[in-house]
Chain A
Amino acid sequence: MLVSADPAPNSTIGTAPKQIKLLFNEALQDVGHTIALLDEKQNKIAIGKAMLDPKDQAKKTVIAEIPTALAAGNYRVDWKALSTDGHTVKGSFKFTLAEMVEMTLKFAFKAGKEPVACGKEIKNLGARRTTAQIMDARMYISNIRLIGPGGEVPFELVPDGKWQTDRVALLDFEDGSAMCKETGNADLRDVIIGKAPAGKYTGIVFDLGIPFELNHADVAVEAAPLNIQALWWNWQTGYKFVRIDLATNSAPPNDKWFIHLGSTGCGMMEKGHSSDPHGMANKPPEKPCNNPNIVTVRLNRFDPNKDQIVADLAGLLTNVNIAQSTPKPAGCMSGVDDPDCRRLIPNFGLSLAKGQCVNGCRGQRFFRVEAAAKP
């Protein structure tokens, strides 16, 4: 059975693929596989011979190189593979290579209608209408797709060496002033720049978080924006997808409330918490995290040319009591057994117990769409 393919079946891509890669659920024989690539007129395009991917020791991946750059258009892949059990599996799928145009997605950080910034008091936050101000406000966004008449198309990030790689973008709403001085910096970032097929779009889907394969890296050697120590826990747990630190007007020890969303249950280290009895802190996990805590946000009625996406702190803190926090840690650090997470995590649209979207994360209260302010 074909598990996945690159290019993905029925996908629209912006960059000409250099190879076709098919992943199966069973081990394959050394020979007997075929991959054919056809253009819109059903003409066969010359590609390399289908062969097992030498990088996949499990022998479950077949690849075929595409030696020439493909032109924009619709393509079909016909494939056959010979499984170890002797069965031939075959199939066919289409993908579209589109011409891409540059676009800018605008974001804003607000509490209700009020913009949020360092040094500015925010009133009526959470269940107890607490007054607070931010000490940090940053988040990672990935896997962005725009919704058009034909379905979802990819929004390919343009790497800039600072705010975006080709897979992950950072939004930064703190400017290092006032109480943001401790962990923040002067730069601000409220846009994501990328490319998408030219067309009219009516919605957007993106992940608040970092894909698993990129989440467990060494922050000391990673390229920006994945090199920020303040947004990283350790190799096992990975990055803080969202970091919003609040200073409240409550008396100590309830004067701080942190929102750190990230994956948990990622390996042996967490069994012993910070004591790391297995010495795993400096290794990536060996299997996917139990609680990925990646929020898939789907916003309909979004026009990238006219609208902006608002990260609404007031919405996120709906019914959350930030006037008090159970000590160690103050606020929610994504722990399954952290009482402060009980009301917060569902506002991301996630299940606290499983760390996965409930009903496609449709219940999330953090992001909404509003008309962008005219420049």
Chain B
Amino acid sequence: MSLTHDQILQLAPDEASKKAGQQLANSAKWVEKYSHEKALWGDCQGSGSKPYKTIIDLQNLAFKCSCPSRKFPCKHGLGLLLLFASQEKTFSKQEALAEHVAEWISKRDAKAENKDQKKEEKPIDEKAQQKRIEAREKKVDAGIDELRIWLKDVVRTGIMQVPQNPYQFNHNITTRMVDAQAGGLAAQLRKMNQINFFEEGWQIQLSRQLASVYFLTEAYQNKSHLDELWQKELNTLIGWPTSKETVLEQTPVTDHWLIASKTYQEEANITTEKIWLYGYEHQQFALLLNFYAGNQLPQHIYNTGNTLHADLCFYPGVRPVRAIIRQQHALQPGFADLIGVSSLQTVLEQIAGQLATQPFLADIPFILSAMKIIFENGSWYLQDWDRSVFSLSNTEDNCWDLLAISKGEPFSCFVLYEYKQLHIHSVWQHQNFYFIQ
């Protein structure tokens, strides 16, 4: 497994660990350091009398360290991995794993096998499962009823006062939706807290989101009138989980996928990882969505701008975008140039078309080509060849970075559309790929 400096730093639990890890990426700090195709291990001299023993499992990235730090991975793990990334030659290459390393790795392997076995062995109790579904349905229905009452209360009194208390006005109902096992609705309510209430336009955004959530509850309550796909789509939007097995039963799509964007969002100790992919052959987008609790490590160590050759299975729905990897064939560095939509008028038409098919769409992805970035009266826009412009939601700093990268010349980019604005996630020009953080 070869990781870049940036990728390793992304594993750090906080800024202090990043800095400390970088300082430990120094051969002088390590009394011993060894490498093996399966693992890295070394002894780092800390403030204690005995050096700390650090091990890194390179097959399924994991860290172990004898230091007392509660951070995960600790600075020693990060330091050792950073040092390996920059000065691999300074590590003594070993044919066999050291005893304590082999013991830890084998324990991990055994644990993983047991987990799989347990899954396979466990028979499904259909009666109990049905009971659980019914109980959940009751909970969800009750939660939705409460949500509808809350929404009506909000519009009865008006939203004028919301900016005075933007983080609390929906706190209780959001928690209630979590209790009602309607995670999808809770997520939609949380999204309202991301509105910038200090900026003009919040009124429309909040009204739209309130109305959309209400509309979703109506659709859910009337889902029996809809076809099976829509029922699944609505279930997913409300927060019903679709089992991995069900998804893997879908026909896989094999393609070379460009890793177009990778973002992390942390909320209530849960980190949401969103990886956007684009298939070269099928010209289709896919979203790998992962959730990590606490200090759990990311499942995929993918770098934007690389190409993933894999079979993906899509979650069933009206417009299937979310997917999981059924089989990964290869992860290739670099990317092939892509020709995307070059007219913003076409983008607008496609947005209208997609909203008509699925009005609850939150993000609509596009690959755009021959775009320029411009600014006018303090606002930033994407401009196409016939001077049509589309407003950007990237930060001011992001936009200057984009201008510096493109030098005012046309470029290709991956963007997400969200309520009348585009957000540039990555750009490529002259065979160079840039992920906009």
Q: Do A and B come from one complex?
A: no
B residues with a Cβ closer than 8 A to A are none
A residues with a Cβ closer than 8 A to B are none
